[in-house]
Amino acid sequence: MMNKENDSIVRYCKPTQIQGDKILVGAFLLRKKDPELKRPKDEKELSVYHYDYYKESPLKNIKDFAEEKMALKPEGCFAVIKYSDIEKDIKENLSVDIDIKPACKPHYLISNLYQCDEDAAFYFAKNVKSFTKIKDIK
């Protein structure tokens, strides 16, 4: 079970969503409907991983889990954010209560972002505590 007060989340970011030592806001935007990319509708929830789900080597274990579902690029990264920090920032600045629920552990979905997607993405990027490139996760 995730401890919303103390635990962190991890978001996979593509290489194009990283610039120097910063994660770009686009890494946290909900994906929009796109028939060419086989997306029949807009995303309503942001996909993340529960960093503290694994006690040993969390990034390595999340990488192994994520690789079963999607292709991770070596120059992509995992960005780590303390959940309570992002929840507080969005509440204080956007007056929105976000929520997080397990999809299939350690994969979680953050809801209630759709109406403030672009503004919320800014706060996600601002709250990144650290990030590690996929190629550096052993």
Structure tokens at 48: 């993340």
Cα separation, 11 vs 125, whole angstroms: 10
Q: What is the pLDDT of residue 27?
A: 97
Q: What is the pLDDT of residue 40?
A: 80
Cα separation, 10 vs 38, whole angstroms: 25
Cα separation, 119 vs 65, whole angstroms: 29
> What is the CA angle 72-83-51, rounded to 5?
45
pTM for the whole thing? 0.94
Q: What digits encode the pLDDT tens for the residues 20-71?
A: 999 999 999 998 888 777 778 888 999 999 999 999 999 999 999 999 999 9
Q: Say how many C-beta atoms besides its own lie within 10 A of residue 136's C-beta.
A: 10
